[in-house]
């Protein structure tokens, strides 16, 4: 019953953060005015356009990213029994960066101009992330050891990062600027026409994570004990790779690398609600993540003169939690 009330309270906070984010921007609206526009009580068509066409896609994107990254982080922390594991641990975000770098920096280096629009950047990021995910899946089939796969993922990320740095060094200034802006993270790239499949790519894996939550609980017992309970550990590990890869890949491709949320939010859910059951943790992590992303986005758009990169805000919020986890030095279970 307590957790039911906790979910209800989080949903109320989520709705408030949703309206607050809609009210934030270069043109600030009051919360009451946003409600008037949403419920068609305002005759100002310009305000309706700003809120429905410009801000609603951004706000829904914040919610979806806030769902995707914490769930990915939670599953990876469980799989590797490592409290500092996160959705970028396999180099998937680095793969997305490589795809975008090839489009923007590689093509410009070869004398070609990048395709216009954010959609081509997202496609390049998805292809890059998908390539790394496929490589990790092939490795996981041959190697049945989570720690080895973790090390390989870190090495892949470092190697790809070095390659991207070389491309930046030799690239033209205009394309370099565009790439650097992408790396700062932004929720403005997803438009109304792209939002539906962006949502499907995140909500479907999230639903699968909820369905498989009782099986994820068995991983706390170790692989051998989980197998004695009838759990197919290899298939379960594969499902975690696919879930985290899809969600991290699509979120990074469209919005750039948004750090620390995936690592910090699952710990926040554990600390606040004192539970280790994945059904609860998946739900709480998704709700808290969505709230934090909405508040971060509202803060990033709260200055009239300029927009603060959302990656900077999530880092400021997430780093203290991660440092606390390190110094707490409590056994992860």
- The angle, 0 to 180 degrees and rounded to 10, between the axes of the packed helices 146-170 and 56-80 is 140
What are 157's two structure tokens? 């990320």
Give me the pLDDT at residue 60, please: 95
Instruction: For residue 297, give Cα distances in angstroms to 66, 257, 284.
Output: 11, 15, 20
Q: Where are the domains of the chain?
A: 62-190+197-328
Is residue 100 within 8 Å of 121, Cβ to Cβ? yes
- How many whole angstroms separate alpha carbon 229 and alpha carbon 237? 16
Instruction: For residue 171, give Cα distances in angstroms to 111, 202, 254.
Output: 10, 33, 22
Q: What is the DSSP letter of 265?
A: H
- How many whole angstroms separate alpha carbon 9 and alpha carbon 22? 20
The angle subtended at Cα 246 by Cα 241 and Cα 252, nearest 5°, is: 120
The angle subtended at Cα 185 by Cα 273 and Cα 287, nearest 5°, is: 20
Instruction: For residue 329, give Cα distances in angstroms to 84, 278, 322, 326, 332.
Output: 11, 22, 11, 5, 9
What are 69's two structure tokens? 């990254």
**300: alpha, beta or left, given left = phi > 0 and alpha = psi -120 to 50?**
alpha
Determine how many CB atoms are found less than 10 A away from the CB of residue 261. 30
Give me the pLDDT at residue 332, please: 47
- How many whole angstroms separate alpha carbon 290 and alpha carbon 10? 10
- How many whole angstroms separate alpha carbon 268 and alpha carbon 288? 8
Chain-centroid distance, C-alpha 267? 16
- How many whole angstroms separate alpha carbon 79 and alpha carbon 146? 7
Q: What is the DSSP letter of 87?
A: T
Whole-number CA gyration radius for the chain:
20
The angle subtended at Cα 197 by Cα 195 and Cα 198, nearest 5°, is: 60
Give me the pLDDT at residue 74, please: 94
Average pLDDT for runs of 10 along the chain of length 333? 83 94 82 79 71 89 96 89 76 83 74 60 81 80 75 85 86 80 83 86 94 91 81 87 87 86 89 88 95 92 78 85 70 48
**Residue 257: exposure state from Cβ atoms within 10 A (0-12, 13-18, ≥19):** buried
Is residue 167 within 8 Å of 101, Cβ to Cβ? yes
Give me the pLDDT at residue 219, please: 86
What are 260's two structure tokens? 């620390």
Is residue 167 within 8 Å of 237, Cβ to Cβ? no
What are 114's two structure tokens? 């990048």
CATH architecture, domain defined by 62-190+197-328: Orthogonal Bundle (1.10)
Give me the pLDDT at residue 72, please: 92
Give me the pLDDT at residue 330, please: 53
Give me the pLDDT at residue 276, please: 86
Sign of torsion over alpha carbons 233, 209, 156, 319: negative
């Amino acid at each position: 019953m307590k957790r039911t009330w906790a979910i209800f309270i989080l949903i109320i906070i989520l709705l408030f953060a949703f309206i607050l984010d809609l009210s934030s921007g270069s043109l600030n609206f009051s919360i009451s005015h946003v409600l008037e526009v949403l419920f068609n009580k305002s005759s100002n068509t310009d305000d309706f356009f700003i809120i429905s066409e410009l801000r609603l896609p951004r706000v829904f994107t914040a919610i979806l990213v806030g769902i995707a990254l914490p769930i990915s982080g939670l599953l990876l922390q469980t799989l590797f029994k490592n409290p500092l594991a996160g959705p970028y641990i396999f180099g998937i975000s680095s793969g997305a960066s490589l795809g975008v770098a090839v489009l923007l920096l590689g093509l410009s280096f070869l004398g070609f101009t990048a395709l216009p629009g954010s959609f081509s950047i997202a496609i390049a990021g998805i292809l890059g992330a998908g390539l790394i995910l496929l490589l990790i899946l092939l490795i996981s089939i041959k190697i049945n050891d989570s720690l080895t796969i973790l090390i390989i993922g870190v090495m892949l990320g470092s190697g790809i990062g070095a390659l991207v740095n070389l491309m930046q060094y030799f690239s033209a200034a205009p394309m370099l600027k565009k790439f650097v802006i992408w790396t700062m993270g932004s929720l403005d790239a997803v438009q109304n026409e792209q939002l539906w499949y962006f949502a499907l790519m995140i909500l479907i894996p999230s639903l699968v994570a909820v369905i498989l939550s009782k099986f994820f609980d068995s991983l706390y017992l170790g692989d051998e004990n989980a197998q004695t309970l009838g759990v197919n550990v290899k298939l379960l590990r594969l499902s975690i790779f696919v879930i985290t890869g899809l969600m991290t890949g699509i979120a990074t491709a469209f919005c750039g690398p948004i750090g620390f949320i995936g690592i910090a939010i699952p710990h926040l859910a554990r600390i606040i609600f004192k539970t280790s059951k994945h059904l609860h943790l998946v739900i709480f992590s998704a709700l808290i993540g969505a709230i934090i992303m909405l508040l971060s986005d509202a803060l990033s758009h709260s200055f009239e003169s300029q927009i603060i990169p959302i990656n900077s805000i999530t880092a400021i919020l997430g780093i203290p939690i991660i440092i606390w986890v390190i110094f707490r030095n409590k056994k992860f279970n």
